[in-house]
């Protein structure tokens, strides 16, 4: 076998390894990214499955037990599609309305660990975990986003025109 | 007033950039150098103009001009001056302006170089850089205006606009929102500008590559000119990434430093393609190989730079980093699509001109191993890119958003990083053109034997994890090879009678590229030690303890000695615990894990207390506390073995890059100088006779 052939075989092997790694790792680790509505609609089939969900944190429901490091809160459904969110006036507005609207689908979440700094009313929570038989979502990982927009904070401090 | 100056300067710069593009194209196509020169002057003007714009914004920021939308959204009265200045890149509009400013600054520097030997490149470098600049300026001008003022409309809404909307009255908040507390960290203050500097500096080699394709001057000249730009871009990007990791470790309070967050990955992508590029251009310079490949890599790097800026700034992906949300996404996608297509079209047009001078003929030759390493880098890039776009792809194909988390990245990139490490060690040993397994074997058997010995020692010391042993074995092997290269070089010099320190200094100084590269490799090895250590041996625990109580983790015990609460004068309420750290029963440190509460943004921030040594970190987080009750406080405690090797490795890595980037005389100029010297000494040799 010439050196060139062996070189080409080496290259093909690397490409094959990359393809294999991507395929197997994707298969083993892919998880649905769902809204609260979608999760609840497919409850039966998804109980116990590892999924990722997104929703708006309802501030009044946050309870933290530092003894057990047990964090409980409720999230409200927000649309998952970026375009829909833009059309409804941006993430901050969508989150605000989701929390205020009592008719939205709600989901109780439990998480064990330190209370995240960004967990507050109207934060967007992106949660990885699974839905339990009891209808509670058991979170392994919590990501929080706070769209800080001046509209939220400013009007109360308004000073009139100048 | 200042806002109008700033906006006016932006608008003028935009027009200058457009003019420069038009004049450069006209001058180049019609063969009118005076038009190209006029374009060059317009380009030179963009930097002072944008500096004026940036200074206007900084002045607005530091003087609390909260009637400006951007100022109100990223600063507040209580913030110290340096944070008000750095708030320039704390939000979307400002950071885009900052991006443009860097772009114009770098282009300014390029414009001032000596162009005598590369006149034909000049107009096209102007076109590429100014089109890029104009795109970013248009985002600032038409979508995300940092100078927009706040207005109250008749129906009571507050909106931002440059000019008075119908019926609106000016509106001035009493105080601003303040910078997100998470971003108030030295690492985070330096992280975005460094990352951006890295992003922007890669535009320069791309511009020269495009100029080479357009003019048909497709030799390695564009690579020689931009070698140092590429290295500088890489240096900035590496520094930005390392500081980002450090920020994550210090601020996010989870004991980790890299979470495969889409935005982290977005910054890693151009670094990966850039690293591949830096290595493969060496092969083109030495052997005239891989010319197409280098073009592909720099085109890809440019696209990934724009993509990275877009990801961090558009909020298209769910990520903790996406502090910004806006409608600029489609514009970015359009720009990436158009520039990428044009670049590929230009490459296709010159495809035949870029045929290699030689072929790779040996599996173990250095060019073959470099090529393999390039493929591994691309493999890691494809894995990472796949992970980022998988949710979008899956939604397009199945209508269902499916994501992959950190385990996906770890599983898919782990073996590739290991392969990269091996190739990194072996490739520099093999020879250009042809190398035999026998010769390579002679060079690596000592490091291999030492690596096996190291693994045995680790087993005796009690390390039992098989994969960790494999990892440490590999790292040791590569470390011994790389150190061996230094020893070989130093010994060769010592035989000529140089003392050891002189030999080492000269060895590095005389071959800066080569030994700078080896130092970078040593930095990578050190970082690998830290990554293996934290990946396989980290542990954590948590407990609620009364004052005087203690928590144990491994060899460590911490006791909770007390709590202090006070207001800091920069708008924080601070609660900090006093914690003593004992190792094997002996007191080794006092740390102060704390919780800062930012009054302006009503947000807490948890700062760990860390006892750090080269062997391990003991990392304490104050989770909760009861000031009066006997319950005391809750702590979460992490033990992170070898994590400091990541930061030390990062420093070594940066030093190595600095050595490699340090100016050496331009080889062609140096050759010309030598020639001149020779010419004065001896009779000039006719060109034909020499060739």
How would you class B142 by CB atoms within 10 Å of its CB: exposed for 0-12, middle for 13-18, buried for 19 or more? exposed
Q: What is the pLDDT of residue A155?
A: 31
Q: What is the pLDDT of residue B631?
A: 67
A123 chain-B contacts, CB cut-off 8 A: none
Q: What is the pLDDT of residue B396?
A: 79
B403/A52 Cβ within 8 A: yes
Least confident window among B97-106, B221-230, B252-261, B569-578: B252-261
Residues ≥6 apart with Cβ < 8 Å to B435: B362, B364, B365, B366
Look at residues B241, B2, B219, B207 and name the one whose alpha carbon lies nearest to residue B123: B207
Q: Is A47 on the interface with B (CB under 8 A)?
A: no
Report residue B581 as tokens: 């750290």
Report residue A78 as tokens: 């927000």
Percent of chain B with pLDDT over 90: 56
Would you tell me how many other CB atoms lie within 10 Å of the CB of residue B269?
Answer: 24
Size of interface A-B (CB pairs under 8 A): 196
Least confident window among A19-28, B360-369, B515-524: B360-369
| Residue A63 phi, psi dihedral angles, 5° rounding | -130, 135
CATH number of A33-148: 2.40.50.140
Residue B447: pLDDT band with limits 50, 70, 90: very high
Kindly indicate whether the ipTM for this predicted assembly is greater than 0.85, answering yes or no. no
A82 chain-B contacts, CB cut-off 8 A: 315-316, 329
pLDDT tens track for B263-309: 889 899 999 999 999 999 988 888 888 889 999 999 999 999 998 88
* Structural domain contains residue B532: no
pLDDT tens track for B324-342: 345 677 788 889 999 999 9
Q: What does the mean pLDDT of chain A come to?
A: 82
Pairing of strands B158-161, A70-76: unpaired
Residues ≥6 apart with Cβ < 8 Å to B30: none
Q: Which 372-391 residues of chain B touch chain A by CB within 8 A?
A: 372, 375-376, 379, 382-383, 386, 390-391
Q: What is the pLDDT of residue B325?
A: 46
pLDDT tens track for B110-154: 999 888 889 999 999 999 999 999 999 999 998 889 999 999 888
Distance CA A50, CA B387 (A): 17
pLDDT tens track for B354-385: 887 777 777 888 888 999 999 999 999 999 99
Q: Is B319 on the interface with A (CB under 8 A)?
A: yes
Q: Is A49 on the interface with B (CB under 8 A)?
A: no
Give the position of tokens 């944190």: A57
B327/A26 Cβ within 8 A: no
A26 chain-B contacts, CB cut-off 8 A: 386, 390, 404, 408, 412
* Structural domain contains residue B679: no
- Residue ranges per structural domain of chain A: 1-30, 33-148
Judged against a pLDDT cut of 90, whether residue B689 lies above it is answered with no
Q: Which domain, by its residues, includes B602?
A: 539-645
Torsion (CA) B388, B391, B395, B397 in degrees, nearest 10 = 60
Please name the member of B329, B376, B405 whose beta carbon is closest to the beta carbon of A31.
Answer: B405
A162 chain-B contacts, CB cut-off 8 A: 67, 170, 172
Please name the member of A15, A31, A69 whose beta carbon is closest to the beta carbon of B623.
Answer: A69
Nearest CA in chain B to A154: B173
- State the total domains in chain B: 2
Nearest CA in chain A to B598: A117
pLDDT tens track for B585-598: 999 999 999 998 88
* Structural domain contains residue B489: no
What DSSP string describes B200-225? HHTHHHHHHHHHHHHHT--STHHHHH
Q: What is the pLDDT of residue B319?
A: 41
Nearest CA in chain B to A32: B402
The answer to whether residues B225 and B117 touch, using CB atoms and an 8 Å cutoff, is: no
A114/B606 Cβ within 8 A: yes
The strand pairing partners of A109, in sequence order, are A73, A137
> Which domain-ending residue is among B352, B372, B399?
B352
B180 chain-A contacts, CB cut-off 8 A: 146, 148
Residue B410: pLDDT band with limits 50, 70, 90: very high
* Structural domain contains residue B90: yes
Whole-Å CA distances, B584 to A155, B527, B555, B556, B670: 56, 27, 5, 6, 61
Report residue B47 as tokens: 């930097």
CA distance A131 to chain B (A): 17
* Structural domain contains residue B132: yes
A66/B634 Cβ within 8 A: yes
Q: Is A59 on the interface with B (CB under 8 A)?
A: no
Count of CA atoms in the C-beta half-sphere (13 A) of B203? 30
The answer to whether residues A140 and A115 touch, using CB atoms and an 8 Å cutoff, is: no
pLDDT tens track for B639-681: 999 999 999 999 999 999 999 988 766 555 556 666 665 555 5
Q: Is A4 on the interface with B (CB under 8 A)?
A: yes
pLDDT tens track for A72-128: 999 999 887 766 776 777 777 888 888 888 889 999 999 998 888 878 888 888 899
Please name the member of B174, B180, B363 whose beta carbon is closest to the beta carbon of A3.
Answer: B363
A79 chain-B contacts, CB cut-off 8 A: none
B376/A31 Cβ within 8 A: no
Judged against a pLDDT cut of 50, whether residue B317 lies above it is answered with no
């Amino acid at each position: 076998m010439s050196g060139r052939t062996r070189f080409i075989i080496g290259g093909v092997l690397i490409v094959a390894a990359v393809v294999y790694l991507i395929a197997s790792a994707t298969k083993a680790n892919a998880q649905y990214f769902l809204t609260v509505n979608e999760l609840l609609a497919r409850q039966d089939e998804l109980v116990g499955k590892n999924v990722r969900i997104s929703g708006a944190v309802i501030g009044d429901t946050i309870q933290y037990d530092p003894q057990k490091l047990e964090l409980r809160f409720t999230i409200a459904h927000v649309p998952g599609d970026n375009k829909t969110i833009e059309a409804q006036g941006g993430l901050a507005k969508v989150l605000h309305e989701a929390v205020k609207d009592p008719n939205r689908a709600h989901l109780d979440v439990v998480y064990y660990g330190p209370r995240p700094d960004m967990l507050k009313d109207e934060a967007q929570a992106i949660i990885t975990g699974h839905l339990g038989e009891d209808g509670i979502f058991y979170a392994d990982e919590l990501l929080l986003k706070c769209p800080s927009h001046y509209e939220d904070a400013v009007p109360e401090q308004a000073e009139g025109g100048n | 007033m200042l806002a109008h100056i700033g906006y006016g300067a932006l608008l003028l710069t935009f027009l200058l950039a457009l003019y420069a593009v038009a004049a450069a194209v006209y001058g180049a196509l019609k063969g009118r150098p005076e038009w190209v020169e006029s374009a060059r002057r317009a380009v030179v003007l963009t930097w002072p103009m944008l500096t004026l714009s940036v200074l206007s914004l900084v002045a607005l920021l530091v003087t609390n001009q909260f009637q400006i939308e951007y100022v109100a959204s990223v600063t507040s009265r209580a913030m110290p001056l340096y944070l008000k200045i750095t708030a320039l890149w704390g939000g979307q509009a400002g950071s885009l302006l900052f991006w443009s400013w860097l772009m114009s600054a770098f282009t300014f520097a390029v414009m001032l170089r000596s162009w005598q030997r590369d006149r034909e490149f000049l107009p096209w470098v102007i076109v590429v850089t100014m089109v890029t600049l104009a795109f970013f300026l248009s985002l600032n001008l038409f979508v995300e205006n940092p100078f927009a003022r706040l207005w109250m409309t008749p129906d009571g809404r507050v909106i931002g606009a440059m000019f008075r909307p119908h019926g609106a009255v000016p509106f001035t908040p009493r105080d601003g929102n303040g910078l997100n507390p998470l971003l108030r960290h030295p690492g985070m203050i330096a992280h975005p500008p460094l990352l951006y500097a890295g992003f922007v500096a890669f535009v320069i080699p791309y511009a020269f590559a495009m100029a080479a394709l357009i003019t048909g001057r497709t030799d390695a000249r564009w690579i020689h000119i931009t070698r140092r730009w590429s290295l500088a871009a890489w240096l900035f990007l590496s520094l930005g990434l390392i500081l980002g990791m450090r920020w994550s470790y210090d601020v996010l309070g989870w004991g980790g430093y890299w979470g495969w967050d889409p935005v982290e990955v977005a910054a890693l992508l151009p670094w990966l393609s850039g690293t591949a590029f830096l290595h493969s251009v060496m092969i083109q310079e030495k052997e005239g190989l891989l010319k197409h490949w280098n073009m592909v890599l720099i085109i890809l790097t440019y696209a990934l730079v724009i993509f990275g800026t877009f990801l961090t700034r558009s909020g298209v992906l769910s990520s903790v980093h996406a502090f910004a949300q806006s409608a600029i996404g489609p514009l970015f996608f359009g720009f990436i699509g158009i520039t990428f297509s044009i670049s590929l079209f230009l490459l296709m047009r010159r495809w035949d001109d870029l045929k290699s001078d030689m072929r790779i003929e040996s599996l173990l030759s250095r060019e073959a191993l470099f090529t393999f390493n390039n493929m591994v880098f691309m493999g890691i890039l494809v894995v990472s890119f796949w992970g980022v776009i998988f949710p979008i792809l899956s939604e397009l194909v199945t209508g269902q958003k499916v994501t992959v988390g950190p385990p996906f990245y770890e599983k898919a990139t782990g073996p590739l990083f290991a392969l990269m490490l091996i190739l990194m060690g072996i490739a520099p040993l093999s020879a250009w053109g042809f190398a035999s397994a026998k010769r390579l074997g002679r060079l690596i058997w000592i490091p291999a034997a030492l690596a096996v010995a190291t693994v045995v020692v680790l087993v005796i010391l009690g390390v039992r994890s098989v994969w960790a042993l494999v990892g440490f074995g590999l790292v040791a092997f590569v470390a011994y090879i790389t150190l061996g290269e230094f020893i070989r070089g130093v010994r060769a010099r010592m035989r000529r009678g140089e003392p050891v320190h002189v030999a080492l200094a000269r060895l590095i100084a005389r071959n800066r590229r080569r030994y700078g590269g080896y130092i970078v490799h040593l930095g990578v090895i050190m970082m690998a030690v830290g990554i293996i250590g934290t990946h396989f041996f980290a542990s954590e625990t948590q407990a609620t303890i009364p004052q005087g109580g203690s928590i144990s983790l491994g060899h460590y015990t911490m006791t909770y000695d007390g709590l202090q609460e006070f207001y800091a004068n920069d708008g924080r309420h601070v609660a900090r615990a006093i914690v003593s750290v004992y190792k094997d029963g002996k007191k080794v440190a006092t740390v102060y894990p704390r919780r800062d509460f930012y009054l302006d943004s009503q947000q807490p921030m948890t700062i760990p207390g860390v006892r750090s040594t080269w062997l391990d970190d003991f990392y304490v987080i104050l989770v909760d506390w009861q000031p009066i009750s006997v319950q005391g406080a809750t702590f979460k405690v992490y033990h992170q073995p070898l994590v400091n090797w990541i930061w030390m490795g990062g420093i070594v890595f940066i030093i190595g890059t600095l050595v490699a980037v340090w100016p050496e005389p331009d080889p062609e100029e140096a050759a010309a100088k030598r020639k001149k010297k020779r010419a004065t000494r001896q009779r000039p040799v006719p060109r034909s006779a020499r060739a």
